[in-house]
Amino acid sequence: MKTLLIIICCLLGLLAALVLIAVVRTLLTPAKKSAYTAPPADENAMALAEKLARMVRCQTVSHPGQTDLASFLELQKVLEELFPLVHQRLEKTVIDGNLLFYWKGKSREKPILLMSHQDVVPAEGPWTHEPFAGEISDGKLWGRGTADTKCSLMAFFQAVEQLLAEGFEPACDVYLASSCTEEWGGDGAPKLVAELKRRGVELFMLCDEGGAIISEPIGGIHGNFAMVGVFEKGKANVRFTARSAGGHASAPGKNTPVDRVAAFVHSMQKHPPFRKKFLPEVTAMFGRLAPYAPFGLRLVLGNLWLFGPILKPILPSISAQAGAMLQTTAAFTVLSGSEAYNVLPQEASVGANMRFIPHQGEQESLALIQARAAKFGLETEVLLSNDFSSPVDIRGDAFKLVERVIGETFPGLPVSPYVMTGATDAYFYQDVCKNCIRFSPVVFGPEQMKGMHGLDECIEVNCLPGAVQFYVNLIRAQN
């Protein structure tokens, strides 16, 4: 008993020492504040907003397997009017509505590609501002696609237009790309990649949507932060089906298809089989954000070596977005059973959208959920699936270049790596690019985050000049 007490006292003393070390480290880490805010809108900002408004008025809504390109041709006509020099001096290739522009540089070494999609999701529900009117009011441009992502499409076209007007010649080849199928993961981007492969192009870097200048990226950390996406999780759509002989609802038996489906979903919600882990990119993100947090949060985020085991289980309840960066997720989204209230179904099914994390990728994650489904007598059908993307080296030249350009363009704006839990066209470019950066140089506050794929999507007009200047500086940085 005495020996046990000694061991407990030693462990408590060690823990106290470790906590003291963490506290001292935190006290010695200077507290910081994000100093960047977009300047007030001027005439230039309003002119850019008018250009973007014209693009928003083109109703480029995409649907799986769509073939109607009329709205995309309308948008491309508008782009030609808005950016005449781009269309006159760059080599333009159109593949089934998907755009690829080539700007010859002084050298073919280390080419870069700027990209953002043309298509938008449907605009359903009661909008305060008409979704395709391109209305400018209250310092914002309202409409579907303003934030996701015609803003960045406009910005890099404008950047190249300005540089061409100055007579600028890039040091390396520059490509501009824009698909019209991104919102449903269609074949637009793969067709553009196939064209680049045909030309033998190996990109040094590309810059697509994904991260952005996010206001309060984690609750309690205030200000604007450049969250630069360095990889995206894999994804799958999976259907789980329970079968039986059916029957009349007046005499229900046990373990009906609905019972088994419900029990499976409950099991996954209460005891998911996926392991939580702080990846190097996530650890780096928290480490960079820590100095901007209040002391208590700074203590935890800045010392994951000690507090990580405590933070892992509770992080998903604090922030669903942050929690999704630690593990594979399965969100149950589609449910079906009997078509009549008084009939027990012969089969019931539930569909899940999965997002795979690198430490438990596509094959392992699918095997885990299939094994769990089998315990409830459910069949598993994988409808579509792809693994996570290769990560960008956050210590490599491409990330450092983007970080430097962000610093030049947005003084006082902190930069952090970021894990994409959603999907982008950049995923398809891995065969021709090892550095797929995901960053839109626009400010996304709570209103913008809420509006993407939702009601009243909008973008702050005053952030548009900075977005254009970012792309100007990124192209110039190659010289």
Q: How many CA atoms lie within 13 A of 250 on its CB side?
A: 0
**Dihedral (Cα; 121, 127, 128, 132), 10-degree rounding:** 50
How far apart CA 281 and CA 310 sit, in angstroms, is 19
Angle of CA points 248, 249, 254, to nearest 5°:
100
pLDDT digits (tens, 9 = 90+) for 108-134: 999 999 999 999 999 999 999 999 999
Mean pLDDT of 321-332: 93
Q: Which of 439, 276, 264, 420 is nearest to 359 (CA)?
A: 276
pLDDT at 68: 76
Q: Are 153 and 118 in contact (CB under 8 A)?
A: yes
Mean pLDDT of 216-228: 92
pLDDT classification of 250: cutoffs 50, 70, 90: confident
pLDDT at 317: 79
Q: Is 338 exposed, middle or buried (0-12, 13-18, 19+ CB in 10 A)?
A: middle
Residue 363 has pLDDT above 80, yes or no: yes
Q: What is the pTM of this model?
A: 0.92
Mean pLDDT of 293-307: 89
pLDDT at 253: 83
**Helix 43-56 vs helix 70-82: crossing angle, to nearest 10:** 160
pLDDT classification of 16: cutoffs 50, 70, 90: low
Q: Are 316 and 324 in contact (CB under 8 A)?
A: yes
CB atoms closer than 10 angstroms to residue 1: 5
pLDDT at 215: 93
Residue 12 has pLDDT above 80, yes or no: no
How far apart CA 429 and CA 189 sit, in angstroms, is 8
pLDDT at 316: 83
pLDDT classification of 249: cutoffs 50, 70, 90: confident
How far apart CA 249 and CA 331 sit, in angstroms, is 29
Residue 9 has pLDDT above 90, yes or no: no
What is residue 253's three-state secondary structure? Answer: coil
Residue 210 has pLDDT above 70, yes or no: yes
How far apart CA 53 and CA 40 sit, in angstroms, is 19
Residue 10 has pLDDT above 80, yes or no: no
pLDDT digits (tens, 9 = 90+) for 410-445: 999 999 999 998 889 999 999 999 999 999 999 999
Q: Is the peptide bond before 241 cis (omega within 30 degrees of 0)?
A: no
pLDDT at 25: 82
Domains and CATH numbers, the chain: 43-229+389-476 (3.40.630.10), 234-386 (3.30.70.360)
What is residue 455's three-state secondary structure? Answer: coil
Residue 305 has pLDDT above 70, yes or no: yes
Residue 318 has pLDDT above 80, yes or no: no
Q: Which of 182, 94, 203, 156 is nearest to 405 (CA)?
A: 156
Q: Which of 89, 83, 90, 84 is nearest to 158 (CA)?
A: 83
How far apart CA 285 and CA 227 sit, in angstroms, is 9
**Dihedral (Cα; 252, 253, 256, 262), 10-degree rounding:** 80
How far apart CA 101 and CA 117 sit, in angstroms, is 14
Query: What are 367's two structure tokens?
Result: 């095997």
Mean pLDDT of 374-398: 96
How far apart CA 446 and CA 451 sit, in angstroms, is 9
> Where do we find the tokens 């947005």?
410
Mean pLDDT of 231-247: 94
Residue 99 has pLDDT above 90, yes or no: yes
Averaged pLDDT of the chain: 93
pLDDT digits (tens, 9 = 90+) for 18-71: 667 777 788 778 889 999 999 999 999 999 999 999 999 999 999 888 767 999
**Helix 151-165 vs helix 464-476: crossing angle, to nearest 10:** 50
pLDDT at 129: 95
Please report, rounded to a whole number, the percentage of residues in the chain having pLDDT higher than 70.
Answer: 96
Give the rounded distance of the alpha carbon of 32 from its chain centre: 26
Instruction: Convert 226-253 into a string of H (helix), E (strand) and C (coil).
Output: EEEEEEECEEEEEEEEEECCCEECCCCC
